[in-house]
Amino acid sequence: MPKLLDLHQNKPEFCESGFLVMIIGIVGLGLIGGSLGLDFRAGGHRVVGVSRRQRTGEQAIAMGAVDEASTEFEVLGQADVIFICTPLGAMAATVAQLVPTLRPGVVLTDVGSVKGWVMETVAPLWPWFVGGHPMAGKAESGIEVAQPGLFVDCAYVLTPTEQTPPEAIARVEQLARSLRSRIFYCQPEEHDQAVAWISHLPVLVSASLLAACTQEAEPAVQTLAQSLASSGFRDTSRVGGGNPELGVMMARYNTQALLRSLAAYRATLDGLMQQVEQQDWAGLEAVLQQTQQIRPRFVAS
């Protein structure tokens, strides 16, 4: 694999933080791609973007998310590392189209929310591919909502294989660290089951909450409920009210892990319903005491 030194004509540069300056390509300039671009540029790297629509690239330049943008892959000719930030459904076709234009040694990495499918289908297309998942997001999508610092203190999961060149892993890890993310290495299957519990299941639970609330037959009560909804409802409905395409992709590409989590959730909900039906208040309190103790294991209070 060529060293960065060679790629930069024997003149390695370092930014203020001491990181090696790279030319970073981003394909798919939406929430995640745009937010990465903002942070990488702020970190002193040069960022080159490829968008599907020309207008998105123009917006990305105007926002300072990229130095240069195009709808053609040729613009990525000098990139050291390329982030694939399209929706999961477009990733395999995008990488297959991109690969013939790449120099040997260019590192490809993705940001997809599912890793098993990516590692099976996309990773084999390029030997310097490192699977990745920066675990930050928002309800909105698109370049307009990209923001600096989105990944600070968030988990950034990497899923290299035994065949992944160590230098490729090191380059992606360096960039993920520069976002001030917390780095985790794991197997793709472990990642997919873990995110099924804490990310994909919550999307469907939250969506089912929103859908259930519309089943109120009395219009006056429905209107009153909407007027009374406050912080608790905002918290519990947030991820169910997000980007529908993203939710479908999670279910489509992480089906088995999600079904396993959904089955456990349904059984738990049935148990709670039974306790309410039987007026088993002591049993219900015991469950809620347990969940109160469990929550800090997942999220800091």
**Which residue, 28 or 202, is less far from ligand NAP as judged by CB?**
28
Distance CA 200, CA 249 (A): 10
Count residues contacting ligand NAP (CB under 6 A)?
Answer: 26
**In this chain, which stretch among 26-34, 201-209, 229-237, 293-301 interacts with ligand NAP, using CB under 6 A?**
26-34
Point out which span in 87-95, 187-195, 283-291, 293-301 binds ligand NAP (CB under 6 A). 87-95
The whole-angstrom separation of Cα 85 and Cα 90 is 9
Position 254 contacts ligand NAP (CB under 6 A): no
Q: With CB under 6 A as the contact rule, which of the stretches 7-15, 28-36, 190-198, 216-224 interacts with ligand NAP? A: 28-36
Only segment of 15-23, 83-91, 218-226, 263-271 that touches ligand NAP (CB under 6 A) = 83-91
The reply on whether position 134 binds ligand NAP by CB under 6 A is yes
| SS3 of the chain: helix, strand, coil, percent, to 5 | 55, 10, 35
**246 is a site residue for ligand NAP (CB under 6 A):** yes
Residue 69 binds to ligand NAP (criterion: CB under 6 A): no
Residue nearest ligand NAP (C-beta atom)? 30
Residue 200 makes CB contacts below 8 A (sequence gap 6+) with 113, 250, 251, 254, 257, 258, 261
Q: Minimal distance in Å, beta carbon 57 to ligand NAP?
A: 7
Give 198's DSSP letter: I
Q: Any contact of residue 112 with ligand NAP (CB under 6 A)?
A: yes
Cβ-based nearer residue to ligand NAP, 143 or 176: 143
- 51 belongs to the binding site for ligand NAP (CB under 6 A): yes
CB 29 within 8 A of CB 35: no
Q: Which is nearer to ligand NAP, 22 or 195 (CB)?
A: 195
Neighbour-count burial of 130, counting CB atoms closer than 10 A to its CB (0-12 exposed, 13-18 middle, 19+ buried): buried
Applying CB under 6 A, among 73, 76, 86, 164 the residue interacting with ligand NAP is: 86
Scanning the structure block, which residue is given the tokens 């629509």? 53
Least distance to ligand NAP, CB of residue 170, Å: 22
Closest C-alpha to 123, from 88, 153, 161: 161
Cβ-based nearer residue to ligand NAP, 88 or 102: 88
Among positions 65, 85, 123, 169, the unique one binding ligand NAP when judged by CB under 6 A: 85
CA distance 267 to 28: 39
What is the longest distance spanned by two Cα atoms in the chain? 75
Considering only 87, 105, 148, 247, the residue that binds ligand NAP (CB under 6 A) is 87
- Contact status: 28 vs ligand NAP (CB under 6 A): yes
- With CB under 6 A as the contact rule, the residue among 6, 13, 14, 53 that binds ligand NAP is 53
User: Should residue 29 be labelled a site residue for ligand NAP when binding is judged by CB under 6 A?
Assistant: yes
Q: How many CA atoms lie within 13 A of 282 on its CB side?
A: 0
Residue pair 285/292 in contact by the 8 Å Cβ criterion: no
For residue 147, count CB atoms less than 10 angstroms from its CB and return exposed for 0-12, middle for 13-18, buried for 19 or more.
middle
> Burial level of 228, CB count in 10 A (0-12/13-18/19+)?
exposed
**What residue ranges bind ligand NAP (CB under 6 A)?**
28-33, 51-53, 56, 85-88, 90, 94, 111-113, 134, 137, 141-143, 246, 249
